[in-house]
Amino acid sequence: MAVEVLRPVVDLPRAGILRRIRRAIMTDPLALAGVAVIVLLAALAVFGPWIAPYPEQGAGQSNVPARMLPPSLEHPFGTDGLGRDMLSRVIVGARPAVAVSLLVVGLAMLIGVPLGAIAGYRRGRLDALIMRVTDLFLAFPPLLLAMVIVAALGPGLEHAALALAISWWPWYARLARGTATSLRERSFVEAARSIGVGDLTILRRHVIPNLLTPILVQATIDIGTVILAAGSLAFLGLGASPPTPDWGLMVAEGRTYILDQWWLSAFPGSAIFVVVLAFNVVGDLLLDVLDPRGTR
């Protein structure tokens, strides 16, 4: 039946995605700030060692005579217990933070999206099987998993990333499955089937590309969250180990001196805070902008 044939509101032709992003950024100062933070973070991740005032200290070389100096013009973020310049440590720390989060989110998407898409598109027994396995992983406490992995493989940033990816992918599988289930009912998928396009091709060409919008939005927000989680693991001693310039590790190291030498924890902590917030803001922005029909 011809239901909802006539929409009450006249559709305006929608501008291109780039123009919409630009307009959204220009009209929303918070979004502009979020994008600026992410651009800055990316720049630091790539060029950090060249930007940092004391790159070798950033990487871990100590300078004991200058230990525990409060913020000054020479050391805007102060120095730590080994006399390393905190500004350099924070700047050089951008690269491992970005690397871990990209690795975790990338792995999680790589595992979760195809599994979820297959489950949602095929339904039936395969769906039940995939989703039970997913539930299993979801039910396993991430912290415990991280401890098991660290115990087995030894501490290290890449092992923390592995632990995070393993506990992260089920969320992508669920999200992908939900979207794939609704895509399955869309007539363009049935149209492809009626033409005789094979299931794998339909998944690859019609289902997965069309469920990427919510996935990308989630991934953007998750990059921030992963930085936070990696920081937490490092804080607990389950992630990066010294002298890696890891923000979470720096917060942990400064913990004992929080009352007197506040700058040890405050600056890396603020870096985490600002970056997580920025990814959340930009994720929301993408949600508004990426929807191809502008129906949300």
Partner 1 sequence: MTAPLLSVDDLAVRFVTPDGTTTGLDGVSLEVRRGEIVGLVGETGCGKTLTGLAILGLLPRSARVVRGSVRLDGDELLGLTADRLREVRGARVGMVFQNPASAFNPVFTIGSQMRYVLAAHERLPKAEAEQRIRETLAEAGLPEVERVLRAHPHQLSGGMLQRAMIASALLCRPQLLIADEPTTALDVTIEAQILRLIRRLQESRGFSVLFITHDLGVVRSVSDRVVVLYAGRVAETAPTADLFARPAHPYARGLMAAVPHASGRREALASIPGAVPPDVGTIEGCAFADRCPLVVDRCRAERPLLRELAVGHRAACHLADAGAIL
Partner 2 sequence: MTAPVVATAAVVPLVSVRGLEMAFHVDGRVVRAVAGVDLDILPGEVHALVGESGSGKTTLARCILRLIVPTAGTVEVEGRDIARLRGGELRELRRSMQLVFQDPEGSLDPRMSVRDLVAEPIRTHLRPARGGIGPAVVELLDGVGLARRHLDRRPHELSGGQCQRVAIARALALKPRLIVLDEPTSALDVSVQAQILNLLLELRARHGLTYLLISHDLGVVRHLSDRVSVMYLGRIVERAAADEVFEDARHPYTRALLASVPDAAAAGPRPTLIRGDPPSPADPPTGCAFHPRCWLRDRLPDAAICATTAPPPVDGGNRAACHFADRVAPALAEDRP
Residues at the interface with partner 2 (CB under 8 A) = 1-2, 5, 13-14, 186-188, 190-198, 201, 205-206, 209-210, 292-293
153 contacts: CB under 8 Å, gap ≥ 6: 159, 162
Of residues 14, 186, 205, 255, which one binds partner 1 by CB under 8 A? Answer: 14
For residue 167, what are its two tokens? 């506990």
User: Does 9 participate in binding partner 1 (rule CB under 8 A)?
Assistant: yes
Instruction: Choose among partner 2, partner 1, none what residue 191 binds, the Cβ cut-off being 5 to 8 Å by kind.
Output: partner 2
Residue placing its CB nearer to partner 1 in the complex, 32 or 69:
32
Please tell me whether residue 85 adopts helix, strand or coil conformation.
Answer: strand
- Residue of 128, 42, 97 whose CA lies nearest to 250: 97
Residue 258: count other Cβ atoms within 10 Å of its Cβ. 13
Q: How far is CA 259 from the centre of its chain?
A: 31
Residue placing its CB nearer to partner 1 in the complex, 15 or 153:
15
- Residue of 295, 226, 235 whose CA lies nearest to 268: 235
Instruction: Choose among partner 1, partner 2, none what residue 194 binds, the Cβ cut-off being 5 to 8 Å by kind.
Output: partner 2
Contact status, residue 245 vs residue 92, Cβ threshold 8 Å = yes
Minimum distance from residue 188 beta carbon to partner 2 (Å): 5
Residue found by looking up tokens 């940033």 in the block: 157
Residue placing its CB nearer to partner 1 in the complex, 18 or 259:
18
Distance, in Å, from the CA atom of 139 to the CA atom of 128, rounded to the nearest integer, reads 16
- Residue of 255, 250, 279, 249 whose CA lies nearest to 267: 250
Tell me the backbone φ, ψ of residue 79, rounded to 5 degrees. -130, 165
145 contacts: CB under 8 Å, gap ≥ 6: 163, 166, 167
Residue placing its CB nearer to partner 1 in the complex, 5 or 259:
5
User: Does 8 participate in binding partner 1 (rule CB under 8 A)?
Assistant: yes
Residue placing its CB nearer to partner 2 in the complex, 23 or 186:
186
User: Does 16 participate in binding partner 1 (rule CB under 8 A)?
Assistant: no
Size of the residue set binding partner 1 (CB under 8 A)? 17
Minimum distance from residue 20 beta carbon to partner 1 (Å): 8
Residue placing its CB nearer to partner 2 in the complex, 1 or 139:
1
Of residues 22, 23, 186, 255, which one binds partner 1 by CB under 8 A? Answer: 23
User: Does 259 participate in binding partner 1 (rule CB under 8 A)?
Assistant: no
Minimum distance from residue 155 beta carbon to partner 2 (Å): 44
User: Does 200 participate in binding partner 1 (rule CB under 8 A)?
Assistant: no
For residue 154, what are its two tokens? 């030894």
Distance, in Å, from the CA atom of 38 to the CA atom of 92, rounded to the nearest integer, reads 15
Distance, in Å, from the CA atom of 86 to the CA atom of 41, rounded to the nearest integer, reads 16
Instruction: Choose among partner 2, partner 1, none what residue 8 binds, the Cβ cut-off being 5 to 8 Å by kind.
Output: partner 1
Binding mask 25-64 for partner 1 (x = CB under 8 A): --x-------------------------------------
User: Does 17 participate in binding partner 1 (rule CB under 8 A)?
Assistant: no
Residue placing its CB nearer to partner 1 in the complex, 16 or 65:
16
For residue 78, what are its two tokens? 């102060």
Cis peptide before 8 (omega within 30 of 0): no
- Residue of 119, 122, 107, 137 whose CA lies nearest to 176: 119
Residues that bind partner 1 (CB under 8 A): 1-15, 23, 27
